[in-house]
């Protein structure tokens, strides 16, 4: 089976300034990058100095790192029944979109939101209103990527139908895209660990959202079992998707053609690392799931 070598990358820290994310990405062998542009647990937005932005862009270009995505802060909740929270969420999203344009990011990835008890319909309506407003205020090139979720209680985005409905209600513009998280879809109840399962999942995605909107894939194993609706990421091969599951995912030409971004705990607990990046690439290059199972894991560090 001839499958192109996928673009494998990771979420990396910007501690100390945006430009430091370039070195961290290079250190672990990432080819595409996801970053936070402000502290993920805070509303306060970091002001990035022009020199830092310029150095970051220069670093990306010289190291050939692309694409770049921004992941929105965790506090963001466009579905909240609380108007003040929603207002702040839209403001932060707009701030992220402006930074995305500044740094040349392909888009901002965000979780659609949690209705926190107001119900799916109210939650979806709140998201539509929030995004409609944001899209009127922002007309730059950065995409808005709704991320698939594990579909936990109150969390919007656990089914492709729901994401498709949001996109449709927003007019279906090309800026509205989707990031498929392998752990989340597995936890939400989409079998993606066999050839048939991956095929069925992507056919369903195509019939609802449409594959042309699939801009990014988060490559994470799942600590929780199939259809658990509990969002917990695991290192590649250490979760319920497993190496064979990733072999099937990576040998689907649709998945293999998308940027794959790791958001895993890391084999030494310090976030996405080289062993995860290398293993994902090796699984993609393996001729069979059996070979993928037997690949060595090259964990560096004494505590590994």
| Binding site residues, Zn ion, CB under 5 A | 147, 181, 218, 263
Indicate the helix (H) or strand (E) that contains 302: none
CB 214 → Zn ion: shortest distance, Å? 14
CB 54 → Zn ion: shortest distance, Å? 28
Q: What is the rounded CA–CA span in Å between residue 30 and residue 219?
A: 13
CB 61 → Zn ion: shortest distance, Å? 26
Nearer to Zn ion, 220 or 289 (CB): 220
Cα angle: 67, vertex 300, 269; to 5 degrees: 70
**What is the maximum alpha-carbon separation in the chain?**
53
Give CA separation, 103 vs 52, 88, 98, 166, in Å.
Answer: 10, 22, 9, 27
Give the residue among 225, 228, 229, 261 at the shortest CA–CA distance from 109: 261
Nearer to Zn ion, 233 or 286 (CB): 233
| DSSP bridge pairs for 221 | 234
Burial profile 155-171: b = 16 or more Cβ within 10 angstroms, e = fewer: bbbbbbebbbbbbeebe
Nearer to Zn ion, 126 or 264 (CB): 264
Nearer to Zn ion, 52 or 218 (CB): 218
CB 183 → Zn ion: shortest distance, Å? 7
Nearer to Zn ion, 181 or 221 (CB): 181
CB 157 → Zn ion: shortest distance, Å? 10
Lookup: tokens for 84: 């003040």
For 188, phi and psi rounded to 5 degrees? Answer: -80, -10
Nearer to Zn ion, 109 or 193 (CB): 109
CB 184 → Zn ion: shortest distance, Å? 6
Nearer to Zn ion, 216 or 284 (CB): 216
Cα angle: 181, vertex 125, 74; to 5 degrees: 40
CB 62 → Zn ion: shortest distance, Å? 28
Pinpoint the alpha helices (H) of the chain.
19-27, 50-63, 83-103, 120-137, 160-169, 182-188, 195-208, 242-250, 253-256, 274-285, 289-294
């Amino acid at each position: 089976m001839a499958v192109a070598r996928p673009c494998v990358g990771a979420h990396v820290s910007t501690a100390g300034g945006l430009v430091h994310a370039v070195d961290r990405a290079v250190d672990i062998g990432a080819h595409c990058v996801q970053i936070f542009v402000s502290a993920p647990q805070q509303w306060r937005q970091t002001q990035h100095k022009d020199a830092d932005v310029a150095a970051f862009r220069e670093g990306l270009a010289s190291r050939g790192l692309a694409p770049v995505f921004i992941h929105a802060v965790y506090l963001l909740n466009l579905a909240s029944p609380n108007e003040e929270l929603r207002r702040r969420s839209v403001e932060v999203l707009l701030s992220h979109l402006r930074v995305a344009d500044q740094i040349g990011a392909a888009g901002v990835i965000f979780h659609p939101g949690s209705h926190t008890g107001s119900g799916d319909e109210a939650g979806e309506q709140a998201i539509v209103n929030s995004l409609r407003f944001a899209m009127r205020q922002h007309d730059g090139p950065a995409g808005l990527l709704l991320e698939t979720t594990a579909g936990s209680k109150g969390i919007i985005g656990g089914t492709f139908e729901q994401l498709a409905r949001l996109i449709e209600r927003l007019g279906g513009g090309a800026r509205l895209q989707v990031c498929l998280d392998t752990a989340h879809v597995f936890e939400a109840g989409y079998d993606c660990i066999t050839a048939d399962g991956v095929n069925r999942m992507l056919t369903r995605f195509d019939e609802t959202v449409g594959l042309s909107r699939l801009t990014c894939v988060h490559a994470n194993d799942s600590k929780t079992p199939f259809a658990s609706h509990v969002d917990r990421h695991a290192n590649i091969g250490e979760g319920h998707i497993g190496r064979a599951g990733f072999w099937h995912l990576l040998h689907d030409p649709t998945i293999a053609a998308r940027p794959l971004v790791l958001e895993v705990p890391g084999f030494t607990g310090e976030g996405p690392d080289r062993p995860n990046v290398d293993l994902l690439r090796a699984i993609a290059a393996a001729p069979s799931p059996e070979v993928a199972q037997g690949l060595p894991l090259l964990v560096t560090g004494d505590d590994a």
